[in-house]
Amino acid sequence: MPSGLPPAARLHRPSEYAAALKGRRIARGALFVVSSPRESSPGVRRLGLVVPKRHAPLAVTRNAIKRVIREAFRLRRDTLPDGDLVFRLVNRPAPASLTVLKRQVRAEIDTLLNRVAKC
């Protein structure tokens, strides 16, 4: 059985992203902003990712960032409040190796998820 994030735990439609991005900003870090829609569905925890090319020009970088966020969300999904979360990359990461970038992203995502869990 695959241990990845199931499709039901992800945002798919542009309208779902728009609702979350127009909603409230829950947390902000050096690289990411976490947003959530004002109204959430009970019992549902879903993830959305926005990693624009202007902040991460290489596809390898964008994919690595998304993979790290998905994994962190998957591991903490049961401890988070119900609702949709959209992680949006708002600043360009400093030039570094992919390993260093993944560690930096994971540390920030864990901090942001801790803040979200306390809300």
Which range has highest mean pLDDT (18-27, 42-51, 64-73)? 64-73
Residue 32 contacts residue 88 (beta carbons within 8 Å): yes
For 55-108, what is each residue's pLDDT tens digit?
999 999 999 999 999 999 999 998 998 899 999 999 999 999 999 999 999 999
**Tokens 């991005």, located at residue:** 21
pLDDT at 1: 43
Q: What is the pTM of this model?
A: 0.91
